[in-house]
Structure formats: C-alpha cells, structure tokens
Amino acid sequence: MSQTAAALPRKREGLKTRVSNVTWNTIFYIILAISSLTCVLPFIHIFAKSISAEAYVSANKIFLLPKGINLNAYAKVFADSSIIRSLFVSVVVTVTFTVIGMFLTICAAYALTRKELKGRKVMSFLCMFTMYFAGGTIPEYLLMNNLHMLDTWWCMILPLSFSAYNLLIMKNFFQSSIPDSLVESAVLDGAGHVRILWSIVVPLSKPINATIALFYAVGRWNAYQDALFYIKQRTDLRPLQLKLYYLIVSASESFKSEGGSTGLMTNPEVLQAACIMFATIPIICIYPFVQKYFVQGTMIGAVKG
C-alpha cells in the first residue's frame, strides 16, 4: 500500500508535465501558424489580384480568391519584348554581384578572425561604423559620375557588393564554428592562409555561405533605386525591376488620361500585382534549394562568438 501511495504523486506530476507540454506546444504551433499566414496571405492576395477582372479589383472585392479570371496584365507584361532583355540584365547583375560580394565577405571575415592580424578590432569597428552612417544619395551619385560608372554595368554591381552586416554575421560564424585547433594544425602542416581558407574554412561553412549568398542575391534582385539614379541614357541596361517600374508608371499615366473608361487600358493596380508576381517567382524557385542551409546559417551566424 505504501508503494502504491508513493507512486500516485509521481503519476500526477507526470500527467501535469504532459498536459503542460501539450499546452505550450499548442500555443507555439498557433503562433507559428499566425506568423506563417502573415507571410503567405499577402502573396496569395497579390496573385489573386493579378488574375482577377479589373472591375472587382477597382471595387476592392478581391481578398484571397480571384474573381472573373483575366490574364490581360500578364499578356501586357510579356508583350513587351524588352522585358526579356531586362530579365537577362537582372540575372547577369545578380549573379556577378553575388559572386563578388561572397568573395569579399569570405576573405574579409576570415582575416578579421585571425588573432595574428594587428588592428583587427579597429577594422571591425570601422566596418560596423558604416552601418550607422552613410554619405547620402547626392555624394554617391557624384562619386559614380567621377568614376565614369554612370550608364554602365558596374554602377549596379560594385557600390553595394560589400555588406558590413553580412561580414559581421560570417565573422561570428567563423569564430563560433571553426575551431582554432583545426587552423593551427593546418599551419603546422605547412598550409598557408589561402589554402586554409579554401580547403578547410569554406567547405565547413556551407550553411552560412548559402545564407549570405541568398541575402546578396535577394537584395540585388529586388533593388531598383540605384539603377533608377544611375541608368539614364542606356535603356538596354535597365534591370527587370526598373523596367517593370516604368511599365507601371506608363500604365498609370495612360489610365489617368483615359479616365479609366476604356477596356483597352490595364488597371495599374492589376498590372502592379502581375509585375510583383513576375519579379518574385524566380527567387521563390531558388529558395527551396538553399532552405536547409539558410536556416542553419541564420541560427549559427547570429550567435556571437
């Protein structure tokens, strides 16, 4: 009887623990579901608007389901032959920008983690300092003009190809995930820093490399403001986002001049939704292939070493 009586409190405690775990798990799942919906629902809303009839969009009757299927906005986007050229420009600029950015970030992050580098703390501070203060748009434009980079490929590649934020994340990853003993053993075997970086550090840093590469690629793919300022004469160098921006502006002006009374004009709101989908789908197709590394790199790289 005494053993049975002693076992009852333990069973009750175990039952309370299981109930508590189920309660907290349910709360966490609800929070995650709400957070996921805040990301997914806007995308579904934009897609529904892009294929809905303009009358329903103008009346604000589109939420998640399309009404009156209409693909005129997509037809208008694909009807412009220069869209393919702009897509090619965006792909070339994004790939080149990401490669240069990754090369600079990996090399700088590795150098700043080596204890034998004198002044590395000062250099890290100077890099972080640029995150708080910037020269501004006018000085940047004057710099591009003095360097003769206006209306060239390089004005969309070089200015933003190095990010202090990405550098600090990668630096923290190297410090927390690459053991110093591993680097020291390679030095004893006669390996130089270049060999250590590309044969040891980079292969062990796939998660953070994929994460930072995605940061660079998505940031460059979505950017159009620098091209808006720096690309004036050479319309063949307009990236996809800038081309879609001009397409929406042109449609808005035509729609206003016609008073929205003609069925030949595409509602700018519908056209804008179609352009958003057209520019977003390439990135969405790439993300699943780096999702595993992206999650690992975000969690590990955010830990201060």
Phi-psi region of 151 (alpha: psi -120 to 50; beta: other; left: phi over 0): left
Per-chain mean pLDDT for the chain: 79
- The more confident residue out of 19 and 226 is 226
Query: What's the pLDDT score for residue 292?
Result: 65
**pLDDT tens-digit map of 218-234:** 888 888 888 888 888 88
CB 305 within 8 A of CB 267: no
Find the mean pLDDT for residues 198-207. 84
Q: Which CATH superfamily is domain 81-303 in?
A: MetI-like (1.10.3720.10)
Give 293's pLDDT tier (boundaries 50, 70, 90): low
Residue 210: half-sphere exposure toward Cβ, Cα within 13 Å: 19
Residue 268: Cβ-neighbour burial (10 angstroms; 0-12, 13-18, 19+): buried
Query: What's the pLDDT score for residue 134?
Result: 74
The pTM of this model reads 0.73
Give me the residue spans of the domains in the chain. Answer: 19-59, 81-303
